[in-house]
Amino acid sequence: MNTPSLEKLVVDALEDVKARDIEVIDTTLLSSQFERIVVASGDSGRQTRALAHSVLSHVRAAGGKVLGIEGEENGEWVLVDLGEIVVHVMQPAIRAYYRLEELWSTTPAPRAALARAAGA
For residue 101, the 8-state DSSP code is H
Give exposure, 12-33, as e/b (b: 16+ Cβ within 10 Å).
ebbeebebeebebbebeeeeee
What's the CATH code of the domain at 73?
3.30.460.10
Which residues, listed in sequence order, are joined to residue 78 by a DSSP beta bridge? Answer: 89
User: pLDDT digits over 61-97, tens only?
Assistant: 999 999 999 999 989 999 999 999 999 999 999 999 9
Label residue 114 by pLDDT band (50, 70, 90).
very low
Instruction: Count how many domains the chain has.
Output: 1
The residue segments making up the domain with residue 64 are 3-118
